[in-house]
A and B are shown apart, each in its own frame.
Chain A
Amino acid sequence: MTRPLSIVVVEKDRDRARMIVDGLREAGAHEVVVIGDEVGLARRIAERNPDIVLIDLASPSRDVLEELTLATAPMERPVAMFVDRTDGGLTRAAIEAGVSAYVVDGLRPERLTPILDAAIARFALLQKMRAELAATRRALEERKVIDRAKGLLMRARNIDEDAAYALLRKTAMAQGRKIADVAQALVTAAELLK
């Protein structure tokens, strides 16, 4: 019977952290701890002395983890980024999912792989959700700007809404730009002229 692995997840956002932890728990009975605060990150990880640290690839705080790999750190067992040491498929999947894993040297691959698989699945899901949210936000913002531009055109040229939209579309096509960009330029210019 092997002892449960100790895993630290570095994640600021509570909802994201919960989803990752749930995913990891499904992969087996492990001790999972979330560190959400970036203050004293290296010290707090070292105190827990985990087998695995998982962190968002896009987090600037990742550089702090580099300290854990140095011999002078309180954590005496050397740490390596797992991606160098395992097969290419898993590595690529992790990078695409946006997760980096730091693993204590000597941890056997058969213990590691299920955890990484679970982490990769969750990070990939979160990344997809984040991308969708960003796309939705952007679409909403664009819609708002286009509405304002239409309003400006309707007043300035005394045309109706459909004609205003047609004018925006025509200009965008003629200039090879997006309608939202043309609308933004118009709104910005109108603000400057106020």
Chain B
Amino acid sequence: MTETLRLGYIPLIDAAPFFIAQSLGFAEAEGLVLDLRPAPSWSALRDMLAMGAVEAAQMLSPVPVAAALGLGASQARFEALQLLNANGDVIGVSRALAATMRAAGHPFDFADARTAGAALLAAAGARLRIGVPFPFSMHAELVHYWLENLGLPLPAELDIRTVPPPRMTEALAAGEIDAFAVGEPWGSQAVERGVGELLLPGTAIWAFAPEKVLAVRQGWADENEDLAGRLMRAVWHACGWLGAPENRFLVSDLLSGPDRLPIAAEVIDRALSGRMVISAEGEERESANMIVFSGGAATFPWRSQAAWIGAQLARRYGLDPVAAAQSAAEVYRPDLYRRHLRAAGADLPGASAKLEGALTAPTAVASERGQMILPADRFFDCRIFDPDAAGA
């Protein structure tokens, strides 16, 4: 029987799995009609999900974790059924800051987080204000992790603040912020308007960072097992299609449009191809894995990813990191991923948690069918996060 599911999203490139599931028949194959509902802000989207205005939503990977820790304005609890994508963030700086950094010899290689961090701190001096889309976002986590682990003194006035992405370019132009971390296409927009330059891809800080998740209200997937399975399979097939290199040019055209993503196909293609334009002068930089939808268990919701986010948030907001990592791990649901996607053809890793940051190159690991290749997931400072010793 055909059922309709309401899905909330923010018009960003990583909402792509929903559009592809709907328009290429992956939802239909599961007997689903997807009613896609755009939201004006992350808090509005979270509330739509909490209030039952949508059954599932695209969500920033830290939002279900923050909710589990009792952080934020909402009392609702959520679960992440799978990742929608990994990576996709960029860090950029104002033109003024970029000029100072270039004068000091920084090459804007769009690759080395350590030298970029040192150059940024040196150029910023006593005050550095960085815009991020939401307090609970991978953008915020990456910026905090990066700056705090450079081993350098931080500016006396370091302010990592929320700026809605549609306002990011304006805020940078008006001098309200000196730098930003956003998802594409917003970073490229700042470059296009000539107010900012791109400094780093998020992957330079964490090579494989969970970016957006498919989120539902706590308990929904267990109470609606059949529906949840159908939704997950439709989205998972869409992610697989999105990750296939031969589909890349179709993707940008399918996604660009007033009722889809109000973004030019050419700009969407920059993130998908990993060929980024970093300055108004048109300098290009190649960057692998800019945004990842499939391959190597890319959409598998590792409990260790949630634990890492939980431990980070706990440290920042003064909570017990061990307890936080544990509660965090519970809201990512690899068990449902296994149950619902095994039959659809997903190869599944042998474990549901891993050492985060341990892989410096793509590595073969045990999977249910034998072996699978996991992508590199190193942190820029080569630290390894062990979810079982999260307090350390």
Contacts and interface: CB of A to CB of B under 8 A. Distances in A.
A67 B162 contact: yes
Interface stretch (B36-44, B205-213, B350-358): B36-44
B167 A61 contact: yes
Contact of B163 (A62, A64, A80): A64
Interface stretch (A26-34, A68-76, A113-121): A68-76
B44 A57 contact: yes
B76 interface: yes
A66 B51 contact: no
B164 A80 contact: no
Given A57-B40, A61-B164, A70-B135, A95 B73 contact: no
A63 B134 contact: yes
Contacts of A52: none
B164 A66 contact: no
Contacts of A65: 43, 73
B133 interface: yes
Contact of B73 (A38, A39, A69): A69
Given A39-B176, A69-B73, A72-B317, A62 B40 contact: yes
B162 A85 contact: no
Contact of A59 (B41, B72, B165, B171): B41
Interface string A3-24: 0000000000000000000000
B47 A67 contact: no
A58 interface: yes
Contacts of B50: 84
A70 B166 contact: no
B152 interface: no
A81 B47 contact: yes
Contact of A100 (B47, B71, B72, B75): B47
Interface string B127-157: 0000001111000000000000000000000
B74 A84 contact: yes
Nearest to A69: B73
A83 interface: yes
B290 to A, nearest CB: 24
Contacts of A69: 71-73
A122 B318 CA distance: 40
B26 to A, nearest CB: 26
Interface string B149-190: 000000000000111111100010010100000000000000
Interface string B45-81: 0010011010000000000000000011111100000
A89 interface: no
Contacts of A58: 40, 44
Contact of A81 (B74, B135, B161, B164): B74
Nearest to B318: A71
A80 B73 contact: yes
Contact of A60 (B71, B75, B167, B317): B167
B51 A95 contact: yes
A85 B75 contact: yes
Interface in B284-335: 317-318
A45 B335 CA distance: 43
A80 B75 CA distance: 8
Interface of B: 40-44, 47, 50-51, 53, 71-76, 133-136, 161-167, 171, 174, 176, 317-318
Given A60-B164, A61-B41, A70-B72, 11 more contacts: A57-B44, A60-B165, A60-B166, A63-B41, A64-B163, A66-B134, A69-B72, A71-B317, A83-B47, A84-B73, A84-B75
7 nearest A-B pairs in the assembled complex, by CB-CB distance: A60-B164, A84-B75, A81-B73, A69-B73, A62-B41, A63-B41, A58-B40
Interface of A: 38-40, 42, 57-67, 69-72, 79-81, 83-85, 91-92, 95, 100, 102
24 contacts: A38-B167, A39-B174, A42-B162, A58-B40, A60-B164, A60-B167, A62-B43, A63-B134, A63-B162, A64-B161, A66-B42, A66-B43, A66-B134, A67-B135, A67-B161, A72-B317, A79-B73, A80-B75, A81-B47, A81-B73, A81-B74, A95-B51, A100-B44, A102-B73
